[in-house]
Structure 1
Amino acid sequence: MGSDRTAVVQGKKGEDVLGPVRRALIHIDNSLSRRSCPFLAGETESLADIVLWGALYPLLQDPTYLPEELGALHSWFQTLSSQEPCQRAAETVLKQQGVLALRPYLQKQLQPSLLEGKAVSNEPEEEELATLSEEEITIAVTAWEKGLGSLPPLRPKQTPVLPVAGERNVLITSALPYVNNVPHLGNIIGCVLSADVFARYSRLRQWNTLYLCGTDEYGTATETKAMEEGLTPQEICDKFHVIHADIYRWFNISFDIFGRTTTPQQTEITQDIFQRLWNRGFVLQDTVEQLRCESCARFLADRFVEGVCPFCGYEEARGDQCDKCGKLINAIELKNPQCKLCRSCPVVKSSQHLFLDLPKVSGPFPHLDLPSFFCPLCLSHKSVPYHS
């Protein structure tokens, strides 16, 4: 439902808003009408009502968005909206800004354009099932019947975890979360949970296992969050690292190390890697066109530029990607670009950058087959800005 909420924030009305979700709203209205109950699951509100109310609030808080024929849905929404807990929740999130307060959140959401045009079917997708031998089935049944008591004890945990000759050494990492938000279930499931499951499996197999993660404390995401809260980048990093660590600890994610990219040791290692690349001639210097804000007297990283998407015309595209069509963008391709800090119009100027010379380092990997879904920008060199 991201597209309809984006349309609301942009001030659109009518079919521009209702079109993508009309069928879903009619389904909800019919369900409420048939059951003759004030709430989704019966005579009292449930968690399902609260979740759906929160999802629909940006759309239905303005009565003009809801067609008159959806009377049951309108009555249900008004009943929930009149309750004090829901009113407090809306006031806390919107902060007297109305639905415009949702704009920073919506700008981070990819629109579900990949599903458009795909036929809807209740039939499960056919998958080729793995064939198990009778011996494998017997072993699995026996292990299940014996229970956990039959498993060998876990190897004693040692610090630090170092490779052991002659054993299977397993290094597991998961994507480093940015320190510009509070982790939610999507972060847990999509980032660290699968790695945690495999780490636990590896330890059960008596493998020498090291599971690493930590907070990524560099980049424009951290800087913009610090500006929003009136803090320094270091203060933001300190604040959210504690929050991230506490939440992952509460979920019992079994990191062996949960660190930070700003520690002196991490900095020393990173600089050593760069120095080795530089000394071996794997780094080259080149000039690129980049947007510069004359008012702020600085070249603008992609997240500090907003403008009109050159592909779909979305008016709030970022300098790296459009959140409506999902396409990657070069900041200088934006129409009517604006500096996110002062809203002045930046100019295109030349800037010197350092690049990793991929042809020199890609020699050992020509045999690897790259998936077809890799975009050209994913396969191009990665730049490190160097202001001149």
Structure 2
Amino acid sequence: MSEFKRVLVTAALPYANGPIHIGHLAGCYIPADIYVRFLRAQNKDVKFIGGSDEHGVPITIRAMKEGVQPQQIVDRYHEQIKNSFNQMGISFDVYSRTSSPVHHETASAFFKKLYDDGLFEEKETEQFYDEKTNTFLADRYITGECPVCHNPNAYGDQCEKCGSSLSPEQLINPRSALSDAIPVKKKTKHWYFPLQNYEDFLKKWILEDHTEWKNNVFGQCKSWLDSGLQSRAMTRDSNWGIKVPSPRPPKGRRKSVVCMV
């Protein structure tokens, strides 16, 4: 640590669509808190930052099921999660939320910088769409029969029974987890960040410079790099999120920026 004058410690942002549990605390927040307290005991200049993740599909799904607005969901669970951390003595210097103005401003600034520098790709793709709920479906919200083990309740990204990684196109008789409707394919345009353009840099930074990472973390990152990085969507079709700051949004739908900060 001697080469660093200041230390920033962060922990995973808990989704504000339900309470935290002992697994979250034991696997993430207590170890981080112990490390921060160790640094403070050595008089290091350290800041421990966290916050509630208040955007994304799980929030809107919870709100839809309860018949309320997403803001009501995140307000409820942010306070509950924050109180739980306080009761456990987790010593955040700042515990914020992604719905805060500073988060919106910072995420928008990141997006606009990348957009202005011409680093995004604009692509039209077909995605699964639930016509009953008028919602584009994330892979996790598509269910069907696993083509490997024939579990009838596999998800569009993974079968929980046999562990196979899947895509929605592989499912047999796919259905929407929101309404049980048969999803249809619908065209939509989004901005993508071309991760493949930075593959050489990331291979060196991860595979050569950070061999000290935990085996499971290192192995997962290596598997992505070994299979070749792909462009990743930076926007999604949603009315709940950070509005895209670009002056020229893709036509056809309102967009929300995927949280990048």
For Structure 1 versus Structure 2, the TM-score category normalised by the shorter chain is 0.7 to 0.9
The letter for the 2-side match of 1:225 is: R
TM-score normalized by structure 2?
A: 0.77
Q: Structure 2: how far apart are the matches of 1:380 and 1:325?
A: 26
1:273 and 2:110 correspond:
yes
Match for residue 383 of structure 1 among 228, 233, 236: 233
Residues 135-189 of structure 1: per-residue CA shift (max 9 Å, x gap):
xxxxxxxxxxxxxxxxxxxxxxxxxxxxxxx972010001111112211111101
Aligned-residue offset at 1:191: 1.6
Q: Structure 1: how far apart are the matches of 2:21 and 2:132?
A: 37
Equivalent in the alignment of 2:240: none
Question: CA 1:318–1:265 in 2, change beyond 3 Å: closer, same or farther?
Answer: same
In our comparison, the structure showing a higher alpha carbon Rg is 1
Question: CA 1:167–1:255 in 2, change beyond 3 Å: closer, same or farther?
Answer: same
Q: Structure 2: how far apart are the matches of 1:295 and 1:379?
A: 34
Equivalent in the alignment of 1:192: 29
Equivalent in the alignment of 2:141: 304
Question: CA 1:265–1:378 in 2, change beyond 3 Å: closer, same or farther?
Answer: farther
Equivalent residues in 2 for 1:196-207, closer than 5 Å = 196-207=33-44
Larger strand percent: 2
Q: Structure 2: how far apart are the matches of 1:347 and 1:301?
A: 13
Equivalent in the alignment of 1:251: 88
Equivalent residues in 2 for 1:1-388, closer than 5 Å = 168-362=5-199, 364-370=201-207, 371-374=218-221, 375-376=223-224, 379-387=229-237, 388=252
The answer as to whether partners of 1:321 and 1:327 remain within 8 angstroms in 2 is yes
Question: 3-state SS of the aligned residue for 1:250?
Answer: helix
Question: CA 1:373–1:359 in 2, change beyond 3 Å: closer, same or farther?
Answer: closer
Runs of at least 5 residues in structure 1 that lack an aligned partner in the other structure:
1-165
Aligned-residue offset at 1:283: 1.0
Question: 3-state SS of the aligned residue for 1:213?
Answer: strand
Question: 3-state SS of the aligned residue for 2:205?
Answer: coil
The answer as to whether partners of 2:196 and 2:229 remain within 8 angstroms in 1 is no
The answer as to whether partners of 2:52 and 2:97 remain within 8 angstroms in 1 is yes
Aligned-residue offset at 1:379: 4.3
Aligned-residue offset at 1:275: 0.5
| CA-based RMSD | 2.2
Question: CA 1:309–1:384 in 2, change beyond 3 Å: closer, same or farther?
Answer: farther
TM-score normalized by structure 1?
A: 0.53
Q: Structure 2: how far apart are the matches of 1:363 and 1:312?
A: 37
The answer as to whether partners of 2:195 and 2:229 remain within 8 angstroms in 1 is no
Aligned-residue offset at 1:223: 1.4
Larger helix percent: 1
Runs of at least 5 residues in structure 2 that lack an aligned partner in the other structure:
208-217, 238-251, 253-261
Question: CA 1:359–1:380 in 2, change beyond 3 Å: closer, same or farther?
Answer: closer
Equivalent in the alignment of 1:52: none
Q: Structure 2: how far apart are the matches of 1:240 and 1:313?
A: 36
The answer as to whether partners of 1:167 and 1:208 remain within 8 angstroms in 2 is no
Q: Structure 2: how far apart are the matches of 1:325 and 1:190?
A: 24
Q: Structure 2: how far apart are the matches of 1:310 and 1:191?
A: 34
Question: 3-state SS of the aligned residue for 1:368?
Answer: helix
Question: 3-state SS of the aligned residue for 1:338?
Answer: strand
The answer as to whether partners of 1:180 and 1:225 remain within 8 angstroms in 2 is yes
